[in-house]
A and B are shown apart, each in its own frame.
Chain A
Amino acid sequence: ALFAGACGSDDSDDQSAQEPAATATEDGGGEPQGDTGPVSEFFVQEDYDTQLAQRDIEPEGDPATPWLQMIEPEMADTSEYKAKNASGWNLCFSNAAVDNPWRQVGWNTMQHEVKLHKEIANFKAVDAEASDDKQISDIEELANGNCDALIVSPNTTKTLTPAVEAACEKVPVIVFDRGVDTDCPVTFVHPIGGYAFGVDGAEFLKENVDSGGKILALRILPGVDVLETRWSGAKVQFDDSDLNVVGVEFTDGDAAKTKSIVSDYLQREGQIDGVWMDAGATAVAAMEAFEDNGVDIPPFVGEDQNDFLTKWQEDGLNAIAPTYSNYQWRTAVLAAVKILKGEEVPKEWVLPQPAITQDTLADYVDPNMPPLHYALCGCEDMPGYPQDWGGK
């Protein structure tokens, strides 16, 4: 989207996200209230409940290899997909894009995982460059090609569904990260999910920010389900809290813009007592905005991106890093291998999704890894680590 950014500072707020900012400023903050507008169209109560429950369930499997763990798996037989020959497999992968650090780390890990499996003769990956239409064509092309199994990381849940359904007819399909509106894939690999992510952060702020405290919520962009669920989850928490959400803004994941927005709020509100983010990519930029305005950094919700963790540790901040387990990129490959071997896999492979807290911070932060590395890559044991991940 060469042109998408062409259009000035597009805080692409939708009305629902905007109202609070307005109302909140009118009644000058102060008394506790947390109305953040109508419930998002993406909110599904039962998913919300399951995810919150799953946070407390002990995942099956060896904690040493979290990418193989699974929560409440209902195993499905896959013998029908068992490959004729024990090796020489063609594994195919339709990737939405490699346009952010999280995906870059994951994609890197995935390629290393593939190398670990001699059975996979060749691994054909196609990048859709974040275009739904292109990914649909890619999936068609791959499904009609000679793939033994097809891994899909959909660009958009709703719009990729038809293409994936079509592909299911031809090859065993493994979906991970964002989902699709169909259960035709053999397995759908994903961490607990967005609600849990959002709630982890919101709960942290509820505990660490005094009642009536002003919360600024920063989101990347609207319309992506994994992100929408994070916000709508947090929203539920905020709504029945006495925190005062003074604004919900979209940053497009652009650091400069994030920084500008935070400064604007600091000027407008005088102070911000807590920041919730639906992704940690621009967390550091947001923190800097506080520093540059000569204000202490309040309780902060980030993600397991290394620069955030490092800053957290060095400056001794009060923060939390919910995660969206990056090692799911490994799991997708592993699932494919199991399927082609005819071993059974869970219909829905739910991975653990730990939130990094003050206590566990030390285990995850690693000054030798690059700032944009993700702590939950699950790649530490792989050959080529850390150099291949840009570490020292």
Chain B
Amino acid sequence: MSVSEPTKAAGTGGGDAPATPRRRSAWDDRKEAITNSPATPVYAALLGVFIIAWIVVTIDGGTFLTVSNIVNMLQRSVALGIVSAGQTVAILAGSLDLSVAFLISLSSLVTAEVMDGSDANIVPAVLAVLALGVVVGLGNGLIITKLRVNAFIATLGTALILQGLIQNRYDGPAGSIGEGFEQLGYTRFGIIPASVFLLVAVVALVYFLLRWTRFGFRLYAVGGDEEVSRLSGVRTHRVIIAAHVVCSVCAAITGLFLASRLGAGTPTVGTDGGYDLESIAAVVLGGTALAGGRGGVLGTIGGVFILAVLDNTFNQLEVNAFLKDVVRGVIIIAAVAVYARRSERRA
């Protein structure tokens, strides 16, 4: 039989199935998976941006396609990459997290203070920071699910609370980290900075969570349609809470990393980096739907790299920092507009 023939009542759909009936192979599946992946256009875009940047910079007499330059771009992507990976999870659940920036600052401070200059304390410091992440994540998740507070307001509120706690306790860089831990921020294995491996590890972990665990599958389900998921027996609240825990933990890890880079904790490292809105921008730039349920961490990293390439190019061309923001704004809007049109076409 051919179920694919669009029946009149059925109207749309079936359109993309081959006209002549034939068995589908695993290859069809793979092909399908690729065309369906929202990450595909992102990397197309990344490639485009990369090539343009290359040409422009070279014309300008700069060096773009050198190992050290590429490595520098990777280095710059680490912090934003890790937060955004977490933010992706929150957004996939149909939520979002505006509190990451302050959590990052707080984490950097906690790291530096607990570590207090000696590598002996690395383990307690890391544990403390991860615990902090879990707590904040639980807080956000519970406020959103149990108190039914819109995620935007909930996390905005948490952000304020965190900011208060930070500024109440710290009036400048505090604590210091051990020599050994500083290596995370500065040493390189060969040419690759250690921190890049951290980024890879986190992304891999999140990717694994989304792709291979039940949590991941349910996350997409809940983000896609909370009611249908509920009817299918998904414990939607748990999923949303878990999503926020993951998001906050990623932010905490970013704090760890930045502490190692700054050699201390600072109350402003998170907000100076604008990681709250930047990470959301990176996620949507990475093709993840702000409404949730569609997208993935690979796309997000693509988005982060796009921003990194832009940054690097602008640095090379010594483009004014403010003009840079203009271009970023335009690119973000344009990208999302394109994705919107694209998903309209396919729906």
Interfacial residues, chain A to chain B (CB-CB below 8 A): 1-4, 6-8, 10, 12, 14-17, 42, 97-98, 124-127, 129-134, 136-138, 140-141, 144, 156-159, 161-162, 166, 222-225, 228
Q: By the criterion CB–CB under 8 Å, are A162 and B173 in contact?
A: no
Pairs A–B under 8 Å by Cβ, sample size 29 = A1-B268, A1-B271, A3-B274, A7-B163, A12-B171, A14-B171, A17-B171, A125-B318, A126-B315, A126-B318, A127-B321, A129-B272, A130-B272, A131-B273, A133-B79, A133-B258, A133-B261, A133-B269, A133-B273, A134-B76, A137-B75, A140-B75, A141-B72, A158-B266, A222-B171, A223-B171, A223-B268, A224-B172, A228-B172
Cα-based distance from A125 to B320 in the complex (angstroms): 10
Q: Are B163 and A162 in touch, CB under 8 angstroms?
A: no
**Known pairs A2-B276, A130-B272, A162-B186. 18 more at Cβ < 8 A?**
A3-B98, A3-B277, A4-B272, A14-B170, A129-B321, A132-B269, A133-B273, A136-B261, A137-B75, A138-B315, A141-B72, A156-B173, A156-B262, A158-B172, A158-B266, A159-B269, A222-B171, A222-B172
CB pair B268–A4 under 8 Å, yes or no, is: yes
Chain A residues whose C-beta falls within 8 Å of the C-beta of B35 in the assembled complex: none
Q: How far is the CB of A126 from chain B (nearest CB, A)?
A: 5
Are B318 and A131 interface neighbours, CB within 8 A? Answer: no
Q: A98-B321, A223-B173 are in contact. Are A3 and B276 (CB under 8 A)?
A: yes
B-side residues, CB < 8 A to A, are 68-69, 72, 75-76, 79, 98, 101-102, 156, 159-160, 163, 167-168, 170-173, 182, 185-186, 258, 261-264, 266-269, 271-274, 276-277, 315, 318, 320-321
Q: Of B76, B173, B182, B267, which is within 8 A of A137 by CB?
A: B76
A4: nearest residue on chain B (CB-CB)? B271
* A137 CA to B312 CA, complexed, in Å: 10
Closest B residue to A8 by beta carbon equals B160
Q: How far is the CA of A41 from the CA of B171 in the complex (A)?
A: 10
Highest count of chain B CB atoms <10 Å: which of A98, A133, A138, A159? A133
Partner pick for A158 among B160, B264, B274, CB 8 A cutoff: B264
Instruction: Judge whether A136 and B271 touch: CB under 8 Å.
Output: no
Minimal beta-carbon separation of A220 from chain B (angstroms): 12
- List, in ascending order, chain A residues with CB within 8 A of B173's CB: 156-159, 223
A161 touches B263 (CB 8 A): yes
Q: Which of B98, B167, B186, B321 sits near A14, CB closer than 8 Å?
A: B167
Interfacial chain B residues near A7, Cβ < 8 Å? 159-160, 163
Give Cα A136–Cα B185 distance, bound, in whole angstroms. Answer: 10
Whether A141 lies near B271 (C-beta < 8 A) is no
Complex alpha-carbon distance, A134 and B78, angstroms: 11
Residue from A4, A10, A136 in contact with B262 in the complex, judged by beta carbons closer than 8 Å: A136
Tell which of A1, A8, A159 has the most Cβ of chain B within 10 Å.
A159
Residues of A within 8 A of B318 (CB): 124-126
Report the separation of the CA atoms of residues A10 and B271 in the bound assembly, to the nearest whole angstrom.
Answer: 14
Distance between A55 CB and nearest chain B CB, rounded to angstroms: 26
CB closest residue in chain B, given A40:
B171
The minimal Cβ–Cβ distance linking B89 to chain A, given in whole angstroms, is: 20
Q: Are A166 and B186 CB-contacts (below 8 A) given A124-B318, A138-B315, A140-B72?
A: yes
Least Cβ distance of A152 to chain B in Å?
15
Give Cα A2–Cα B274 distance, bound, in whole angstroms: 6
Instruction: Using known A-B contacts A1-B272, A14-B167, determine if residue A159 contacts B315 with beta carbons closer than 8 Å.
Output: no
Which residues from B are CB-within-8-Å of A159? 173, 262-264, 266, 269
- A78 to chain B minimum Cβ distance, whole angstroms, is 27
On whether the beta carbons of A10 and B79 are closer than 8 Å, the reply is: no
CB <8 Å contact, B258 and A10: no
From residue A70, how far is it (CB to closest CB) to chain B in Å? 29
Give the residues in chain A near B168, CB-CB below 8 Å.
Answer: 14-15
Output the nearest chain A residue to B172 by Cβ-Cβ distance.
Answer: A223
Determine if A223 and B273 form an interchain contact, defined as CB atoms under 8 angstroms apart: no
Q: Once bound together, how far apart are the Cα atoms of A12 and B156, in whole Å?
A: 18
Docked CA distance A72–B75 (Å): 42
Report the 3 A-B pairs with minimum CB-CB distance, sorted nearest first: A223-B172, A222-B171, A159-B262
**Is there contact, CB below 8 Å, between B261 and A12?**
no
Residue of chain A at shortest CB distance from B325: A129
**8 Å CB contact of A144 from B68, B267, B268, B276:** B68
B62 nearest CB across to chain A (Å):
9
In the bound complex, how far is the Cα of B272 from the Cα of A98, in angstroms?
A: 14
Report how far A224 CA is from B262 CA in the complex, Å.
15
Structural contact, B163 and A10, CB atoms closer than 8 A:
yes
Return chain B residues, CB-CB under 8 Å to A136: 261-262
Separation of A222 and B268 alpha carbons in the complex (Å): 11
Report the minimal beta-carbon distance from B339 to chain A, rounded to whole angstroms: 23
Closest B residue to A125 by beta carbon equals B318
A318 to chain B, nearest CB (A): 32
- B160 partner residues in chain A, CB cutoff 8 A: 7-8
What is the CB-to-nearest-CB distance from A94 to chain B, in angstroms, rounded to a whole number?
10
A3-B98, A7-B159, A98-B321 known; A131 vs B272 contact (CB < 8 Å): yes
- Report the Cα distance A15→B168, complex, angstroms: 7
Q: Give the nearest-CB partner of B258 in chain A.
A: A133
**Known A14-B167, A137-B72; contact A2-B266, beta-carbon cutoff 8 A:** no
Within the complex, what minimum Cβ distance (angstroms) separates B328 from chain A? 12
Bound together, the chains give a CA A134 to CA B315 distance in angstroms of 11
B261 surroundings in chain A (CB, below 8 A): 133, 136
Complex: A228 Cα to B172 Cα, angstroms: 10
Question: Are B267's CB and A3's CB within 8 A?
Answer: no
For A162, what are the chain B residues with a Cβ–Cβ distance below 8 Å? 182, 185-186, 262-263
B163 touches A223 (CB 8 A): no
The CA-CA distance from A97 to B267 in the complex, in Å, is 18
CA distance A157 to B172 in the complex (A): 10
Residue of chain B at shortest CB distance from A95: B321
Instruction: For the complex formed, measure the closest distance between the CB of A178 and the CB atoms of chain B, giving whole angstroms.
Output: 12
CA distance A73 to B318 in the complex (A): 35
Which of B98, B170, B261, B320 neighbours the largest number of chain A CB atoms within 10 Å of its CB?
Answer: B261
Q: In the complex, what residues of A have CB within 8 A of residue B321's CB? A: 97-98, 127, 129
CB neighbours (8 Å) of A166 from chain B are: 186
Contact partner of A223 (CB less than 8 A), chosen from B68, B156, B170, B320, is B170
Q: Which of B101, B167, B168 has the most CB of A within 10 A?
A: B167
Is A132 a contact partner of B266 (Cβ separation < 8 A)? yes
Q: How far is the CB of A169 from chain B (nearest CB, A)?
A: 12
**Which residues of the other chain, B, contact A127 by a CB distance below 8 angstroms?**
320-321
Instruction: Assess the A2–B277 pair: CB atoms within 8 A.
Output: yes
Once the chains are docked, how many angstroms separate the CA of A224 from the CA of B267?
11
Q: Which residue on B lies nearest to A225, using beta carbons?
A: B172
Chain A residues within an 8 Å CB radius of B315: 126, 138, 141
Q: Closest approach, in angstroms, between the C-beta of B105 and any C-beta of chain A?
A: 10
Which residues on the B side are within 8 Å of A130 (C-beta)? Answer: 272
